[in-house]
Structure 1
Amino acid sequence: MQWNLRIRAAERGIWKSAQMRRMLAEAGLEISAGKMSSWWAGTPATMKLEELDVLCSVLECTPTDLMSPEPDKVAARRPRATETVNGDSQGHAAGKGGISPTVTPRFGKPRSEPPL
């Protein structure tokens, strides 16, 4: 997702994170300077829905205004058809026509008994 907070803030005449933080506080959302900095400087790793709701209210926007999908990045994360668990370049797992191999447990030494 592309995070567009600074663009939306600029559209509302908000140019500094401190100003944005004050406006959020006035709307009932007290956040730390560090959290505001992470929102302002880049894409936040996580965000509570309540925080997003207040942010949208202050900026008079919707969540879709703040976030834009990036389908190319999603496609880049998908494994290619030629990559498999066993590294077979033909796209076949264990040479069985695309069927995953059966996993069989290896039996080793049993666990020791607890002391009496």
Structure 2
Amino acid sequence: MAWSLKEAAAKRRVLTAATAILDDAGNPVTGRGGKPLTQSNDLGRVIVYLRDHVGRNMLGLHAGAPENFLDQILLAYRCRNKIAHEGGISVPGAPSIAGCSGQFAFRVKDWAAEVVRHESNLAAR
């Protein structure tokens, strides 16, 4: 649910384009199959939306934060996919994803709250 909210907002605010998503060092981020991730992909649009529209500081992922912005967003995406496609974070016989915890789920929920706050503030202008 929290990921879907971020994705819906990103689809409204970030243009679908072949623009490459870059990490903080300016290197292209790769997606599935090692292909460069772009804004034509939902994940790419979410990264751009959270980084450039909502803002890292609002997510607690500002420069100097102990967690890397991109790593945390990619972790949230992997956790979301594990739940959505396999029914849960912990699936018998499948490896778990390091970092996917109940505590992390609450952080992702807090990010969704920031998205709602951000979009509400835009609507109030």
TM (norm. structure 1) is: 0.27
Which structure: greater helix fraction?
A: 2
TM-score with structure 2 setting the length: 0.26
